[in-house]
Amino acid sequence: MSGTIGDNKRLLRVTAGNLRNSHLYVNGHYDFFPPDCIGPSRRSAKNGGGEFEVFLDGLNETIRTDIPTDKKTGRRRSHFRERKWIGRFYRRHHVEDGDILALERLGTRKYRLCIERRSAERSSAFAVGEFFAGIGLVRLALEKQGFRVAFANDIDPNKAEMYRHNWPKDNHLVVGDIHTLKVDDMPTCGL
């Protein structure tokens, strides 16, 4: 599934080929990038396209890239130039076949690459039970790494109020003493 979410976000499904070759397909999304973003087949060529920046979420790194052309045909390639940074992103986030990445436009030549959602096969393995949750700071860190909090507990009602304020759409926080929890009341979690 690749698709458009509004004017400033595109979803890109990672394939086994992407993982093998450390690239990310952007064909069908050329209109999302600056019109001059198509560069020569080699970066060292003098006549170049306009580079743009991509902030790599989780690596806190910004790279400059463009979309190269094929040396033989002169047509634009279907992926970004240079694969090393994409490989680092995949390894950092443990990206697998079927995961969906989001490419967000932050400005004319500024983008952000992040994990949108994990493939269905991985969702239960990445489920987390958060005990002594407080206001949910551990949840914040875990979700940035692709985990999904399926259960949370804290005894303090004031912290629980802040937790619910931070995640108003979730209803998995149980307020009470951990000693009174029953295993049957908790979902299966990988962590």
- What are the residue boundaries of the structural domains of the chain, listed by start? 3-120, 123-185
Q: At 1, is the pLDDT very low, low, confident or very high (cuts 50, 70, 90)?
A: very low
User: CA 39, CA 60: separation in Å to the nearest integer?
Assistant: 25
Q: Write down the pTM of the prediction.
A: 0.60
Secondary structure (DSSP) of 13-60: E--HHHHHHT--B-TT-GGGS-TT-B--SSTT-SS-PPPEEEEETTTT
How, if at all, do strands 100-107 and 9-13 pair?
A: antiparallel
pLDDT tens, residue by residue, 41-89? 876 655 555 899 999 998 889 999 999 989 899 899 988 988 899 999 9
Residue 160: CB atoms within 10 A of its CB come to 21
CATH architecture assigned to 3-120: Beta Barrel (2.40)
Contact 80, 89 (CB under 8 A): no
